[in-house]
């Protein structure tokens, strides 16, 4: 499997993956190769977390800054001792309640985990994913797997195998296609080192659920503090090529009209039906609850982008439950500098 060949594409049943198909992918991981695979949140780009050379390839392929640490995925909590040490009691309680699932815990690093995996930090981020395909793959691999989201650095995270192929195509050795990811936004990253636990990145497990499980307050990291404690949050993120603007629900229709009037090709992610039709308007309706919005968010951004929208107007949601993660992703996507359109002049 050389650099220029297309990746080996393995299709599996998302609910009952055939272990025989995943055996090949597991072996590839053990041998130091890169395997993209579905988790319940987004697709991950995996490598053996204990193999510094394999992990270094993840950074190269993604174009990821070396100080942005990776999440280590394990099959079950008992495997934690190979990657973390001095695990606090509070962390154990959360593992019991939320693993397997979209909660990543930042813990003291065990010496076996190379510094390249943790971006030079003495802590390691760990989770047990809830997707049957990810769990079966970890079982076959028999090693902890470091996996960031399988997008090129800065792009919206991939929630379908096609997104991985679009972004990283021939640079990955194996892509396991297990269909769309159910949650659609990444895991919650929680730092338990201080007196009050701090959410470094809101995600699939809500702040409210964490507070309930811990019986006390959980803080959401302030941007400046985050830049220090979680290097990844410093970098450009989730950016579609189009400009992204966050719009209050009640202002959506008026805002769409204004952009159309200016002659823009407009994409709208809207929870309410819009009483507008225009050939330059593409609406991605997200009726229903926040889980559905989260599930479709990255897919919608990529699709509206592929349709040549110059601006994407995304409906704001209340910052409760999954809404905190949705608004975090929208803000980061909106803050990023849009890349110039292919035909843009100097
Ligand atoms: O849902 C997810 O978490 C997905 C799937 C594949 O598991 N993975 C993912 O990885 O989103 P990535 O690399 O895109 O994001 C990892 C985040 C970054 O914000 C990074 O800075 C933070 O976790 N992180 C990792 N290790 C850390 C550590 N030791 N201390 C603080 N933050 C850490
Ligand atoms: Mg990512």
What residue owns the CA closest to ligand 1's atom 24? 69
Is the pLDDT reported for residue 226 higher than 90? no
Are 159 and 247 members of one domain? no
Residues 157 and 259 in one domain: no
Task: State in Å: Cα 148 to ligand 2 middle.
Answer: 6
Give the distance (Å) from ligand 1 centre to CA of residue 68: 8
Q: Has residue 326 been placed in a domain?
A: yes
Confidence check: pLDDT of 317 > 60: yes
Q: What is the pLDDT of residues 37-51, one digit of tens each?
A: 999 999 999 999 999
Q: How far is CA 72 from the centre of its chain?
A: 13
Query: What's the confidence (pLDDT) of residue 346?
Result: 31
159 lines ligand 1 (CB under 6 A): no
Residue 234 near ligand 1, beta carbon < 6 Å: no
Average pLDDT over residues 213-217: 96
- What is the average pLDDT across 73-95? 96
Q: Which of 186, 208, 230 is the last residue of a domain?
A: 186
Which ligand sits closest to the CA of 40?
1
Clarify whether residues 147 and 266 are in a common domain: no
**Mean pLDDT to the nearest integer, 194-213:** 96
Residues 132 and 21 in one domain: yes
Domain identity same for 117 and 21: yes
- For residue 119, give its domain range: 8-186
| 169 and 251 fall within a common domain | no
Looking at the structure, do residues 169 and 22 belong to the same domain, yes or no? Answer: yes
Structure tokens at 189: 């990253």
Q: Measured from the CA of 68, which atom of ligand 1 is nearest?
A: 21
pLDDT at site 55? 98
Residue 240 clears pLDDT 90, i.e. is over it: no
Q: How far apart are CA 320 and CA 313, in angstroms?
A: 21
73-77 average pLDDT score: 97
- Residue nearest ligand 1's atom 12 by CA: 148
Would you say the CB of residue 48 lies under 6 angstroms from ligand 1?
A: no
Q: What's the mean pLDDT when you consider all of the chain?
A: 92
Q: Determine the average pLDDT of the residues in 310-330.
A: 97
* Ligand 1 and 151: CB distance under 6 A: no
pLDDT score recorded for residue 337: 54
* 175 and 282, same domain (yes or no): no
Domains identified in the chain, total number? 2
The pTM (predicted TM-score) of the whole model is 0.94
In a domain, residue 206? The reply is no
Nearest CA to ligand 1 atom 20: 232
pLDDT interval class at 232 (50, 70, 90): low
Pick the residue whose CA is nearest to atom 6 on ligand 1: 44
């Amino acid at each position: 499997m050389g650099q220029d060949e297309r990746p080996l594409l393995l299709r599996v049943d998302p609910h009952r993956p055939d272990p025989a198909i995943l055996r090949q992918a597991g072996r590839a991981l053990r041998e130091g190769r890169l395997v993209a695979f579905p988790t319940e949140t987004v697709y991950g780009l995996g490598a053996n977390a204990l193999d510094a050379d394999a992990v270094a390839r993840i950074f190269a392929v993604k174009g990821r800054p070396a100080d942005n640490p990776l999440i280590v995925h394990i099959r079950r909590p008992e495997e934690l001792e190979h990657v973390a040490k001095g695990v606090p009691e509070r962390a154990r309680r959360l593992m019991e309640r939320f693993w397997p699932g979209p909660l990543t815990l930042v813990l003291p690093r065990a010496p076996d985990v190379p510094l390249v995996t943790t971006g030079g930090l003495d802590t390691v981020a760990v989770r047990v994913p809830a997707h049957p395909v990810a769990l079966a793959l970890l079982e076959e691999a028999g090693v902890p797997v470091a996996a960031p989201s399988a997008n090129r650095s800065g792009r919206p995270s991939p929630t379908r195998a096609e997104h991985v192929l679009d972004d990283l195509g021939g640079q990955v050795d194996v892509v396991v296609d297990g269909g769309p990811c159910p949650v659609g936004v990444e895991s919650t990253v929680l730092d338990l080192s201080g007196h009050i636990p701090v959410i470094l990145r809101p995600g699939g497990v809500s702040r409210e659920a964490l507070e309930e499980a811990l019986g006390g307050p959980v803080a959401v990291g302030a941007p400046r503090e985050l830049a220090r404690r979680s290097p990844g949050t410093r970098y450009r993120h989730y950016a579609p090529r189009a400009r992204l603007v966050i719009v209050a629900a009640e202002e959506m229709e008026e805002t769409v009209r204004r952009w159309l009037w200016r002659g823009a090709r407009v994409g709208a992610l809207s929870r309410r039906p819009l009483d507008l039709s225009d050939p330059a308007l593409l609406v991605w309706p997200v009726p229903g609850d926040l889980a559905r919005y989260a599930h479709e968010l990255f897919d919608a951004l990529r699709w509206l982008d592929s349709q040549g929208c110059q601006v994407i107007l995304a409906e704001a949601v209340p910052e409760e439950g999954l809404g905190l993660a949705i608004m975090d992703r929208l803000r980061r996507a909106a803050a990023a500098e849009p890349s110039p359109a292919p035909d843009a002049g100097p």
